[in-house]
């Protein structure tokens, strides 16, 4: 069973999405928010009391391979890996977009236009079909410190659909955003390793401290 199929199987019976609104006004270039759904949060489960809350704005496209359940379960599971740092996912919103197909893939020009059109709240995760700027790459995160050439995209993650570990990849990219750093770790078993391995799921106390401090300073985390 593929990682996406696993997420879909888990999500089939979960009532985690509450429809808030539908058929909002069209934005620029044929981009329209069709629905906005509230996403429930989850309590931290890493054995450490939660000190900070993380809220996320999620975006998916009508006609995409990503289902609404896929996106929410991916977020829940990825956020659970951050609970080792005292981070709790406190919920957010999922917006279903109708947009021309060129926006369904990540490329810098299209992504900048899309984010401007939807006036995205940050941090945000966009569930796309492909990452065209980096063929063969499953995801892209734009940290604030590296966003001078693309300021609209700061504090966003772009996650493609495919046969890879969605949860570990998304958690890895969220740590990049929250620490405002593109650096990787050479430590065995570390979530921030540049190479994928199923056991790369741990963060050091130092990484957790930077995640909390920088995430709060940049308004991406809220202290409890």
Average pLDDT of the residues of the chain: 88
Residues spanned by the domain of 129: 3-223
Tell me the pLDDT tens digit for each residue of 59-115.
999 999 999 899 999 999 999 999 999 999 999 999 999 999 999 999 999 999 999
pLDDT band at 28 (very low <50, low <70, confident <90, very high): low
Domain count, the chain: 1
- Report pLDDT digits (tens) over 177-212: 999 999 999 999 999 999 999 999 999 999 999 999
Separation of alpha carbons 183 and 71, rounded Å:
26
pLDDT tens for 32-61 read: 999 999 999 976 565 678 999 999 999 999
Identify the pLDDT of residue 9.
46
Phi, psi of 146, rounded to the nearest 5 degrees: -110, 20
Can you name the residues that pair with 193 across neighbouring β-strands? 185
Q: How far apart are CA 94 and CA 124, in angstroms?
A: 10
- Contact call for residues 161 and 66 (beta carbons, < 8 A): yes
CATH number at residue 126: 3.40.390.10
The sign of the torsion formed by the CA atoms of 147, 182, 220, 135 equals positive
Report the C-alpha gap between 223 and 109 in whole angstroms.
Answer: 34
Identify the three-state secondary structure at position 189: coil
Contact predicate 165/173, CB 8 Å: no
Residue 13 has pLDDT above 50, yes or no: no
What is the tens place of the pLDDT at every residue in 140-152?
999 999 999 999 9
What pLDDT does residue 16 have?
A: 56
What pLDDT shows up at residue 6? 47
Per-residue model confidence (pLDDT) at position 1 = 45
């Amino acid at each position: 069973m593929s990682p996406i199929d696993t997420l879909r199987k888990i999500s089939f019976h979960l009532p985690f999405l509450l429809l808030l609104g539908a058929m909002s006004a069209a934005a620029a270039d044929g981009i329209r928010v069709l629905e906005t759904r509230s996403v429930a949060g989850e309590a931290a489960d890493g054995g450490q009391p939660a000190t900070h809350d993380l809220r996320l704005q999620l975006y998916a496209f009508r006609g995409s391979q990503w289902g609404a359940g896929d996106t929410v379960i991916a977020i829940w599971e990825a956020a659970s890996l951050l609970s080792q740092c005292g981070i709790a996912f406190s919920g957010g919103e999922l917006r279903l977009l109708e947009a021309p197909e060129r926006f369904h893939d990540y490329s810098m020009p299209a992504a900048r236009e899309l984010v401007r059109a939807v006036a995205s709240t940050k941090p945000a995760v966009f569930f796309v079909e492909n990452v065209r700027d980096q063929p063969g790459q499953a995801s892209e995160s734009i940290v604030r410190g590296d966003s001078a050439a693309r300021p609209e995209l700061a504090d966003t993650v772009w996650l493609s659909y495919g046969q890879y570990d969605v949860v570990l990849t998304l958690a890895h990219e969220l740590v990049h955003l929250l620490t405002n750093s593109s650096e990787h770790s050479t430590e065995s078993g570390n979530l921030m390793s540049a190479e994928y391995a199923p056991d790369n799921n741990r963060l050091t106390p130092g990484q957790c401290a930077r995640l909390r401090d920088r995430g709060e300073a940049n308004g991406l985390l809220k202290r409890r």
